[in-house]
Chain A
Amino acid sequence: MTPTQIKSHSHPIIVAENLAKTVLTAEGTLHILSSIDLIINSGESIAIIGESGSGKSTLIGLLAGLDTSTSGSISLNGLDITQMNEDGRAAIRNELIGFVFQSFQLLQGLTALENVMLPLELRGDKKAKAIASRLLERVGLAHRLSHTPKQLSGGEQQRVALARAFATQPKILFADEPTGNLDSKTGASIIDLLFELNSENQTTLILVTHDAHLAARCERTIKIEAGQQV
């Protein structure tokens, strides 16, 4: 398969070649993903679509270095992460990547501010508190800094998650069904905010979604069916 065409003015930030993921089960080898070739440019917004169980989440898991592939290679910003160990990939994630999850994934014991500060503190940023406060103000939660996730609504929690995702000014943002757990109105406002922040930060966005309208807001769509790119 030919690598997907790229924008001429920017450099490739994610390159995946001949990517495959298989698992061994009692019934034999199960192919979850096979022969994926991708080139994603810096600043691009990509929607990954496909039915449940098609392999979308596995794909972004591999691309973000959260999981290891069975074969093939992935390079992020020119670095081959398939050659790295878990701690190497963790360093790359901290430096390059931001995440937004369907179920928010905030640490329950921490306040909104502390949740946003977390990735900054992990990289030893001395201005963590100031950056986190500014971002929470940007997502409209200036009055909620000391609240814990339990004291926030679903929409507010996802705003905290957005602030956290952009805190380290990542080059790439992976968003996995970011509106899946929200009502349509709240979901729409979150998506607006996501795209706003994305354009402000010139981030490469990889968005996994079921929603065709949402996919249409991205510059490009990659469809996965039964573990294959179509």
Chain B
Amino acid sequence: MNLSRFNLALRLLWRDSRSGELTILIIALLIAVTSSTAISLFSDRLQRTMTLQAAEFLAADLVIACPTPIPTDWQSRAKQLNLTLAQTVEFPSVLIEHDELLLAGVKAVSSSYPLRGLLKTTGADYNSETITHAGPEAGRVWVEKRILSALKLNIGDSLTVGEKPLTISNIITYEPDKKGDLYSFSPRVMMNDADLTATGIIQPGSHVHYFFQFSGDQEAIVNFKQWLQPQLTPSQKIMDIHEDRPELGTALIRAERYLGLSSILVILISGVAIAMATGRYTQRHFNATALLRCLGCQQREILWLYCSQFLILGLLTSAIGCLLGWFAQRGLFKLLKDLLPQQIANPNLSALGFGFSIGIIVLLAFALPPILRLKNVAPLRVLRQDLEPLPISAWFVYSLSITIIGLLIWRYTTDVKMTATVLGTGLITLLVLSVLIYGLLNLIASLVPKMSLTWRFGLQGLIRNRQATISQILAFSLTLAAMLLSFTVRTDLINNWQQQLPENAPNHFALNIFPEQQLAFKADLQQDAIQGSQFYPVVRGRLTKINHTPVQKFVSKDSQGDNATHRELSLTWTKELPEDNKLVAGQWWTPTQTVSVSVEQKLADNLKINLGDLLTFSIDNQLVYATVTSLRALKWDTMKPNFYMVFSPGSLDAFPSTYITSFYLPEAKKDLLNTLVKKYPSTTVLEVDLILKQFKTLLKQLTQAINYLLYFALMAGFTVLFAAVYATLDNRIYEGTLMRTFGANRKFLRKTQWIEFGVLGLISGFLAVIIAEAILYALYTRVMAIEYQPNLTLSLIVPVISALFVSLVGLLGVKQVLNRPPIHVLRGL
């Protein structure tokens, strides 16, 4: 290709971009590149952070996680194999200082912790981070900064954990094995395990997590693991760095996936805008192309001329988009700051490269089909303007874009089946919605002749080019529906939870009450006239078999049964049927029965447990067999202790137990918590208000991050609107000017424009409400078990707001129609 042709391409590109011909295309491409670069950088940094931490993720080479200490001969065996040992104990505990309460995640570490990785702390000045390879000394405690502000403490102050006062010496900023789950969102308190006994918290039956950590040469670790495995009980879990890939918390994984899929929505909507804008561009270049062909340009030269312009445009725009995306991902990290590890890997060039290539790919996928039409412009068009090149095959256009979108979905899900499901569901939804909108537009078209002139002209804008109208309505309604969903789910989850609680429902749970404290605790509550629920004994145990068949064979992934069998359950026994429980099958205890168990109905359904089945439980490394004698239905949201498994009285007497209860503490009596926590240091008091608050913050951050991406989708939606308006702008100017020639005033034209865009926005808004409510209904009734109630106010407000916004933006786009003097009609426009 010679230089002069390249110069011509550059010159044409420069002219077209200066005349505003390419503005929408550039904006749409910028939005697509910015959002995909931001998401690509975000997930890449997150994943690399996790991978970099792989070696130190466990803070050891091998870890045994268990609810009780491991047998001493295991430790001896490890020593024989020359392995180094460390131990951490984690448990939640309520801290009280200066009349402030805070639920903290306490971690008591042995002196050799961490075996791998390092700890980072700062002093009072917060400035310089110190790297250490050992935890706090005995008598001292390290805390997260949040603890200091919440409890009005400073470095050097004393902090009482259980019954043991400890001196705050450092602020902990990084620990290698902090898990990314909801449980570990409580701020960290790290202490030396030499002080653990003095806290009085750990007693038989306490709900704590032990982590026994080992490091050494690989062969010894493998040896040790092989030796251990046959001896493990169901409640003991081995983790090693070779088999257990470090994983993000589920909340973060889902957020990352939603963000990825939202960015595909942005790409898709921007793609539609790009296709529309390029369609108009090519149409306006038919004449120039015919002239070039007339002057002797060959088809491939025409193609090269336009493709090279778009390629230059794509390269430049993508580069700018990458830069904007880099800023956008910083915003995303800021939004999710509290959920993320504190040390994040630096941005990677390859992630930027992905965003950049998305720009080129999207441009090719959506702009190439219209450009290919230019190649087919006949030179005869210079004489006959009505000769239009054949459009490119619809199959080619759709398969190209579906392939690209499919590949992108696959990138975020990395699962062929899920990709096919998302793509299939997406396509079917789009198809159904398109047919629906098409039907609606046909209905409008049939009603138009009976309407007044203003309405007729207004609605004609919608029905004239139905394909473009459908694209616009789809773009807006999908974006609005997604925004509506993320907003509604968040508020409904929180509101429903709060509303469903009856007045004076318990707002505090007390766990880990030791049997000898139970009566005193009860008396203390009664003395202050605190309403409490029954005290239930709790023994931790795991369901292992149903009729001698391992329970894993009965569960499907991510089901309720799966959750219940992968962790230890709180097992209780009681003589009377617990309040708010309803017997739905079988009979409550009869005196002659041996060890019997009553199972919660939904779990029984899920695990296919029937009356008379024999269940095997593993409790404290012993097996307990129990026959199912009844099934119970219960309300989980009563804020009273609820149990999957209730045993017949006396069945679990052989095991150490603690008690659990819940009680309602009015705001005015909050001081009592102080007294209770101080008097019973080993007891964990969970404040429901606090947990709800923590949950709210988490939910707010996640939905904010998703909304952040949806703003891009909304912007992309507006570019589709602009592209559609611009595609018909010449015609609109022509008609508007002609109408004014015949005496139509601006008010009339303005009215028709309001009608056109208002109805467009209204339909999009209504459709968004319908889509969102349908998804909400399915989500609430099938997945979340929240009572579904259509939100009428929102259903009315959203269409109105949508109509208003779309109208304002649309009117901005057609400003020229009102301002062009009618004299242009005489000049053939």
Contacts and interface: CB of A to CB of B under 8 A. Distances in A.
A121 interface: yes
Contacts of A30: none
Nearest to A65: B822
B579 interface: no
B744 interface: yes
A156 interface: no
Interface stretch (B90-98, B533-541, B745-753): B745-753
The listed residue with most B CB atoms (<10 A of its CB), out of A99, A105, A108, A164, is A105
B745 A90 contact: yes
B739 A122 contact: yes
B745 A119 contact: no
A95 interface: yes
A216 B248 CA distance: 91
Contacts, number: 69
Given A61-B823, A101-B825, A87 B464 contact: no
Nearest to B819: A86
B746 to A, nearest CB: 6
Contacts of A92: 743
Main secondary structure of the interface of A (DSSP, over half): helix
B689 interface: no
A109 B464 contact: yes
A82 to B, nearest CB: 14
The listed residue with most B CB atoms (<10 A of its CB), out of A91, A102, A109, is A109
B740 interface: yes
Contact of B453 (A60, A90, A102, A122): A122
Nearest to B453: A121
A152 interface: no
A44 interface: no
A121 B740 CA distance: 13
A87 B744 CA distance: 8
A57 B743 contact: no
Interface string B734-768: 01001111111111100000000000000000000
A191 to B, nearest CB: 19
Contacts of A102: 828
Contacts of B287: none
B821 interface: yes
Contacts of B460: 109
B741 A93 contact: yes
B736 to A, nearest CB: 11
B827 A87 contact: no
Interface in A109-125: 109, 118-119, 121-123
A123 B823 CA distance: 21
B780 to A, nearest CB: 45
A107 B743 contact: no
B826 interface: yes
A101 B745 CA distance: 20
A91 B738 CA distance: 14
A168 to B, nearest CB: 8
A166 B805 CA distance: 41
Contacts of B826: 57, 60-61, 66, 101, 176
B743 A91 contact: yes
Contacts of A176: 826
A103 interface: yes
Contacts of A119: 742-743
A119 B741 CA distance: 9
Contacts of A91: 743, 745
A86 B823 contact: no
A125 B745 CA distance: 16
B341 to A, nearest CB: 60
The listed residue with most B CB atoms (<10 A of its CB), out of A57, A92, A122, is A122
Nearest to A87: B745
B747 A87 contact: yes
Nearest to A107: B735
B283 to A, nearest CB: 15
B823 A93 contact: no
Contacts of A90: 740, 743-746
Contacts of A122: 453, 739, 742-744, 748
A94 interface: yes
Contacts of B825: 66, 101, 105
A92 B464 CA distance: 30
A57 B824 CA distance: 10
Interface string A193-213: 000000000000000000000
Nearest to A123: B743
Contacts of A118: 453, 739, 742
B825 to A, nearest CB: 6
Interface in A46-103: 57-58, 60-61, 66-68, 86-87, 90-95, 97, 99, 101-103
B453 A93 contact: no
A93 B823 CA distance: 13
Contact of B742 (A58, A61, A93): A93
Contacts of A123: 743
Nearest to B824: A66
Interface in A170-225: 176
Contacts of B464: 109
Contact of A105 (B453, B731, B738): B738
The listed residue with most A CB atoms (<10 A of its CB), out of B453, B740, B741, B747, is B741
A67 B823 contact: yes
A60 B825 CA distance: 12
Nearest to A174: B826
A161 to B, nearest CB: 11
A193 to B, nearest CB: 20
B745 A66 contact: no
Interface string B303-337: 00000000000000000000000000000000000
Contacts of B742: 93-94, 99, 118-119, 122, 164
A57 B827 CA distance: 8
Nearest to A67: B823
Contacts of A61: 823, 826
A109 B746 CA distance: 21
Nearest to A208: B826
Nearest to B464: A109
A105 B741 CA distance: 11
Nearest to A110: B460
Nearest to A68: B821
Interface of A: 57-58, 60-61, 66-68, 86-87, 90-95, 97, 99, 101-103, 105, 107-109, 118-119, 121-123, 164, 176
5 nearest CB pairs, A to B: A94-B743, A67-B823, A87-B745, A61-B823, A121-B453
Given A58-B823, A93-B743, A176-B826, 17 more contacts: A66-B741, A66-B822, A66-B823, A67-B822, A67-B823, A86-B745, A87-B746, A90-B740, A90-B745, A94-B742, A95-B743, A103-B828, A118-B453, A118-B739, A122-B739, A122-B744, A123-B743
24 contacts: A58-B823, A61-B823, A66-B823, A67-B821, A67-B823, A86-B740, A86-B745, A86-B821, A87-B746, A90-B743, A90-B745, A93-B743, A99-B742, A105-B738, A105-B825, A109-B460, A109-B464, A118-B453, A119-B742, A121-B453, A122-B453, A122-B743, A122-B744, A122-B748
Interface of B: 453, 460, 464, 731, 735, 738-748, 821-823, 825-828
